[in-house]
Amino acid sequence: MASPRIALERVRKVYGRHVALDDVSVDVRPGEFLTLLGPSGSGKTTLLMAIAGFVRPEAGLIRIGEADVTRLPVNKRDIGIVFQNYALFPHMSVLGNVEYPLLLRRLPRAEARERARAALARTQLEGYEARDIAALSGGQRQRVALARAVVFEPRVLLMDEPLSALDKNLREQMQFEIRKLQQDLAITTIYVTHDQREALTMSDRIAVMNGGRIEQLDAPQPVYQRPRTRFVANFMGESNIMPAALVEPLGSAPPLDGTLVIRAENFALERDAAGGDGIAIKGRVAAYAFRGETWHLRLKVEGERELLLSIPSGKSLDQAGITIGQQLTAYAAARHIHRLDGGPEP
Amino acid sequence: MTAMTATVNAAGLRRDAATERRFFLSLALPSLVIVGIGAILPLFWILQQSLATARGDITLVNYTALLTNGLTWRSLLVTLELSGGTLLCCLVLGIPLAFLLASTSPRTASRLMVLVLLPLWTSILVRTYGWLVILRRDGLINDLLVGSGLVSEPVPLVYNFTGTLIGMVHYMLPIFVLPTYAAMRDIDGNVIRAAASMGASLWHCFRTVILPLAFGGIASGSVIVFVYTLGFFITPAILGGGRISPIAIRIDRTLSTLQDWGGAAAFGVFLLLIVAVLGVTALGAARLIRSKPAAD
Amino acid sequence: MPKLSQISTLILALSAAVPAWAQSVTITTAGGDYGTGMKEAMWAPAGKALGLDVRGETQSDGMAALRMQVSSGNVTTDIIHLGSGEGAQAADLGLLEPLDDTVVDQKALPSGAVSKFCYPFSSYGTVIAWNTKTYGQNGPKDWAEFWDVKKFPGRRALRNNAQDLLEAALLSQGVPPEKVYTTLSEPGGIKRAIDRLAELKPHVAVWWTSGAQSAQILKDGEADLVETWNGRAQSVKDDGGAAAYTFHSSIIGTDCLAVPKGAPHKADAMKLIAAMTSPEREAKLTDYIAYGPMNQAAYAGGKVPADKMALLATAPDNAVGVVYADAAWWAKHADEAQAAFDAMMNQ
């Protein structure tokens, strides 16, 4: 049975005066990996919990497949969930945890054991069956939680910041493992995180949330390169948002208007990088820092505005070549210049 | 040179450490003195009384008289029935109550907690007489029962085992709920959510997740209730109507009606031993169950 | 007045450990209305007249307090208020100083009430009381009728103690008052009384342990027939309770005052006992509580008003067909009697 779509229609949740979900509508495609990305308080976890059934919305429809589950209790929704702190049963062994949903479904004990072992094998946990939860590392617990969430073949999978407690290396490894598992199972998945890189790495599509709304719903690349709103631009990393009047069109470039977004890494210090229709901005170095693969520059430009530049190290720049107050011109190619939809001048 | 550096200032630092230890020990001194004078000394006095005749000779006659008296064993049986009954009622009433407290918001929980604890702040005499007013023949409950035509004759709710049990459960329930609630409150809410998401009904979740995780609190609450009630006196004295004679009532009887101090002291030692044996057994059992590899 | 034990040994131990601070005569009573009456009518005015600084203490179980004080060697009370049964027992155990006959006058007492150790000063009757809603004014007129469950069907309440009940049980079988203690002393005498109690046991709804409890039971109608003390029965009537009682065939007990062995102010204590039991002061006690004076002179000369006289167990008109509780018999047989009683209760 193929994993179904999840469709939300004008889901609303209010806590007192705080609107946690402001008429959110979203359609998650069958088998899709959708990430809800946003800062804390943006409503992403509330939305996930509403889908899971732990949060009762004030209004709206939640569908899994064709069925309306809005008023269905949690334990009837057939959803696998991985929680932020793993939420494993501390009084059961690894195997006990993974068998739990199977025994709950009255599977014969032998079959339950067989399937639980298979799920543990899938998450590289063979040989850990008899261990106590307390004896596991964070990564191993994460794998148990994952095995437990999928072992009963739920219709969809929800994950609430499952990797936030892991260190950076392990996190990156787990991102790939989770993604692979999800693709192998072809299970519709909604994943909550506040980590942009994680969202970009894992998702088919990203829904950037802010103030209880989805600001932008797109594949990773468009979200990264063509943020639709100022919030998304800011949230997706080191971007420069500036009025078009500040930049100087080069060559055949047509005059620009409105508000422009240029990512820090899309600037270069060579004229060539801008191509025939790029732009240039002049400024003085206000601060600089070495970040390994890049140099990080703050350029003071017209009107006390600061420009963020991320220049590959060793290529066009070395430390001796930078001094505070030094005059520089930054260039950007036309394809890296993105125009924001409307919005007032910053 | 290394050996030299290792001993630099070592004596002074050791002295500091010792002074610090002595200071913390001295903090415990007042309570040790109070326990010594208030609890240990009287215990020796009772022990001595139990081993002495009226003339002061050392004898075991008080113990042989006690252990050969059928009333002693009968009172022990009544005591165990009362303590066991109280514990059972506390389990049945207290676990859902603790669950309710643990699952409401902290604000509501703290308000409900005040209600739960309120009985602890009133005198046991006041509470016990309160129950008398409610349970007696022309009391609130019988008025309602007879008034509504459910029964034609008032039901005997007090001056018997039932009344005594009600009074004791009322007294012990908060004491049971406190550790149970604390254990349940410490359960990660996501663990319960996880069980529900996998399809567990509330009841199943309660049975397979909440109860095992709250076991420590429930066990300590149970031990407290059972051991504490072994020495109950006021409640059976007032609500038992003279029919319920647990050990504490027998001790009082031996002391004040029979004026047999040696016998009463021996009875006291007997009760103390029972409490000690049952308490140690219960704690041992609880530890055993907890250390057992988790059930699948 | 029997000392009702509602207090644990621990509390006794603690209170006994408090040393006497002031150099004054200390009197220990049972407290309550009774204690207040004793203070206002008897020891406060008597102490004032003697120029003594008297301090009152309260112990619901005077006998236990006495034992604790004497056995621990820390006697803090100079006068203790006991039931006469307890007084006899305490004397047997050597807990009391003998009364100084040159100071305490025994001649005013009825013959047979004289005691070398504990001076009787007030009396009460263990009476039959009933709920007038159940029986109207025509309650049982003696213990035989109290036992008669056909003539008087209903719930009984008895004291959870052999004392007075053994006497009542024999009276109910027609044993004449003057033969009660000789019958009890015969072989099988106690068993006979206990067996008679066992017959009534199925009809006993409550076995009460304190006087206050017996009054409550009478007042609430928890039981229809209540063995209680006349003072308690009267207070229920005074409170408007549907209760009546009869002095007929009551068992009369006395309370007494004694000086504990090793009391710190023995001589002053004797003087105070003598002064507080004068006819006037005993008569005055009846203003506070319906216990009959033992000093027979108290009844003479109208010191007790006629309406009050009707409420006193030892008033000449009331003390008819009654049994005077024999403290000496009880001191000798209490253990055996109570043990038999407890065995019957637990059957």
> What per-residue confidence (pLDDT) applies to A316?
59
Q: Does some domain include residue C300?
A: yes
In chain B, helix, strand, coil percent, each to 5?
A: 80, 0, 20
- Is A52 an 8 Å CB contact of chain B? yes
CB contact under 8 A, C160 and B242: yes
User: How many Cβ pairs within 8 Å bridge chains A and B?
Assistant: 74
Q: Which long-range contacts (CB under 8 A, 24 or more apart) does B114-117 make?
A: B116/B173, B116/B174, B116/B177, B117/B174
Ramachandran angles phi, psi of A33, nearest 5°: -105, 105
> What per-residue confidence (pLDDT) applies to A315?
59
C-alpha to C-alpha distance for C116 and C114, rounded to whole angstroms:
7
> What per-residue confidence (pLDDT) applies to C274?
94
C-alpha to C-alpha distance for C30 and A160, rounded to whole angstroms:
71
Strands A279-290 and A294-301: antiparallel
C-alpha to C-alpha distance for A253 and B138, rounded to whole angstroms:
100
Domain count, chain B: 1
Confidence of residue B38 (pLDDT cuts 50, 70, 90): confident
C-alpha to C-alpha distance for C206 and C203, rounded to whole angstroms:
9
pLDDT at B224 over 60: yes
> What per-residue confidence (pLDDT) applies to C13?
38
> What per-residue confidence (pLDDT) applies to A346?
40
Digit-coded pLDDT (tens) for C257-308: 999 999 999 999 999 999 999 999 999 999 888 888 988 888 888 889 888 8
Domain count, chain C: 2
Strand order in the sheet with A338-339: A239-243, A259-263, A338-339
ipTM reported for the complex, 2 dp: 0.83
Number of H helices, E strands in chain C: 16, 11
A positions 58-97 inside 8 Å of B (CB): 74-81, 83-85, 87-93, 95-96
Q: Does some domain include residue C2?
A: no
Query: Would you state the structure tokens that stand for residue C213, as one six-digit string?
Result: 């409890």
B161-185 helix and B70-103 helix, angle to the nearest 10 degrees? 40
Query: How close, in Å, is residue B84 to chain A by CA atoms?
Result: 28
Least confident interval from A145-154, B53-62, B220-229: B53-62
> Mean pLDDT score of chain C, rounded to an integer?
88
CB contact under 8 A, C220 and B258: no
CB contact under 8 A, C206 and B159: yes
pLDDT at B194 over 80: yes
> What per-residue confidence (pLDDT) applies to B5?
56
C342 CB neighbours in chain B (<8 A) are 71, 245, 253
Query: How close, in Å, is residue B243 to chain C by CA atoms?
Result: 7
- Is A105 an 8 Å CB contact of chain B? yes
Which residue from B233, B245, B252 is facing C346, i.e. has the nearest CB?
B245
Give the residues across from A63 on adjacent strands.
A7, A68
B positions 157-186 inside 8 Å of C (CB): 159
Please state the rounded mean pLDDT for residues B73-97: 95
- Is B260 an 8 Å CB contact of chain C? yes
Strands C243-260 and C79-83: antiparallel
Beta carbons of C242 and C132 less than 8 angstroms apart: yes
Q: Does some domain include residue B43?
A: no
Same-domain check for residues C231 and C214? yes
Domain of B191, in residue numbers: 81-290
pLDDT at C225 over 90: yes
C-alpha to C-alpha distance for C127 and C236, rounded to whole angstroms:
13
Q: Does some domain include residue C224?
A: yes
Q: Does some domain include residue C165?
A: yes
B positions 17-46 inside 8 Å of C (CB): 42, 45
Query: How close, in Å, is residue B217 to chain C by CA atoms?
Result: 31
Same-domain check for residues C193 and C332? yes
Q: Cα Rg for chain B, rounded, in angstroms?
A: 26
CB contact under 8 A, B193 and A101: no
Q: Does some domain include residue C3?
A: no
> What per-residue confidence (pLDDT) applies to C17?
39
Q: Does some domain include residue B55?
A: no
Beta carbons of A192 and A48 less than 8 angstroms apart: yes
The string of DSSP letters for B37-98 reads IIIIHHHHHHHHHHTB-TT--B-SHHHHHHHH-HHHHHHHHHHHHHHHHHHHHHHHHHHHHH
* Higher local confidence (pLDDT), B126 or C169: C169
Q: Does some domain include residue B111?
A: yes
The nearest alpha carbon in chain A to B195 belongs to A101
Digit-coded pLDDT (tens) for B136-182: 888 899 999 999 988 988 889 999 999 999 999 999 999 999 999 99
Q: In a mutagenesis test of the A interface, which of B197, B205, B210, B290 is the best target, namely the one with the most A β-carbons within 10 Å?
A: B197
CA B230 to chain CA centroid, Å, is 8
What homologous superfamily is domain A239-339 in, according to CATH? Nucleic acid-binding proteins (2.40.50.140)
Confidence of residue B53 (pLDDT cuts 50, 70, 90): confident
The nearest alpha carbon in chain A to B215 belongs to A91
CB contact under 8 A, A54 and B296: no
Confidence of residue B296 (pLDDT cuts 50, 70, 90): very low
Dihedral, C147, C152, C153, C159 alpha carbons, nearest 10: -50
CA A230 to chain CA centroid, Å, is 17
CB contact under 8 A, A100 and B197: no
Digit-coded pLDDT (tens) for A31-51: 999 999 999 999 999 999 999
B242 CB neighbours in chain C (<8 A) are 160, 206-209, 345
CB contact under 8 A, B197 and A52: yes
Which residue from A54, A83, A101 is facing B199, i.e. has the nearest CB?
A101
CATH topology of domain A6-235: Rossmann fold (3.40.50)
B198 CB neighbours in chain A (<8 A) are 75, 80, 100-101, 104, 148, 152
pLDDT at B291 over 60: yes
Task: Read off the CATH number of the domain in which B274 is found.
Answer: 1.10.3720.10
> What per-residue confidence (pLDDT) applies to A303?
74
B209 CB neighbours in chain A (<8 A) are 89, 91
Q: Does some domain include residue B248?
A: yes
Confidence of residue B52 (pLDDT cuts 50, 70, 90): confident
pLDDT at C11 over 60: no
Q: Where in chain A is the domain with CATH 3.40.50.300?
A: 6-235
Same-domain check for residues C285 and C187? no
Domain of C199, in residue numbers: 125-250+325-345
Dihedral sign of CA atoms A242, A245, A250, A255 in order = positive
Strands A279-290 and C79-83: unpaired
Q: Where in chain A is the domain with CATH 2.40.50.140?
A: 239-339
B96-119 burial, b at 16+ Cβ within 10 Å, e below that, comes to: ebbbbbbeeeeeebeeebeebeeb
The string of DSSP letters for A183-212 reads HHHT-EEEEEES-HHHHHHH-SEEEEEETT
Q: What percent of chain C has pLDDT over 70?
A: 93
pLDDT beneath 50, residues of chain A? 343-346
Query: How close, in Å, is residue C312 to chain B by CA atoms?
Result: 26
CB contact under 8 A, B71 and C222: no
A74 CB neighbours in chain B (<8 A) are 193, 196-197
Please classify residue C100 by burial: count the beta carbons closer than 10 Å to its beta carbon, then call 0-12 exposed, 13-18 middle and 19+ buried: middle
List alpha helices for A128-195, DSSP H. 138-150, 168-185
> What per-residue confidence (pLDDT) applies to C111?
64
- Whole-angstrom CA distances from C187 to A177, A277, C180, C329 are 96, 131, 13, 14
Task: Read off the CATH number of the domain in which C296 is found.
Answer: 3.40.190.10
Which amino acid, residue C185?
A: S
Q: How many residues does chain B have?
A: 296
> What per-residue confidence (pLDDT) applies to A319?
55
Q: Cα Rg for chain A, rounded, in angstroms?
A: 24
> What per-residue confidence (pLDDT) applies to B1?
46
Query: How close, in Å, is residue A96 to chain B by CA atoms?
Result: 5
B191 CB neighbours in chain A (<8 A) are 87-90
Same-domain check for residues C151 and C133? yes
- Is B241 an 8 Å CB contact of chain C? yes
Beta carbons of A140 and A125 less than 8 angstroms apart: yes
- Nearest to B197, CA basis, from A149, A31, A30: A149
Q: Residue B164 CB: number of other CB atoms within 10 A?
A: 29
Query: How close, in Å, is residue B61 to chain A by CA atoms?
Result: 52
> What per-residue confidence (pLDDT) applies to C106?
84
Number of H helices, E strands in chain A: 8, 18
B199-237 burial, b at 16+ Cβ within 10 Å, e below that, comes to: bbeeeebbebbbebbbbbbbbbbbbbbbbbbbbbbbbbb
CA atoms within 13 A on the CB side of A2: 9
Cβ-Cβ contacts under 8 Å for B127 (sequence gap 6 or more):
B119, B167, B170, B171
A94-104 helix and A109-122 helix, angle to the nearest 10 degrees? 130
Chains with 3 or more CB pairs under 8 A to chain A? B
Ramachandran angles phi, psi of C158, nearest 5°: -125, 160
Ramachandran angles phi, psi of A132, nearest 5°: -80, 150
Same-domain check for residues C236 and C283? no
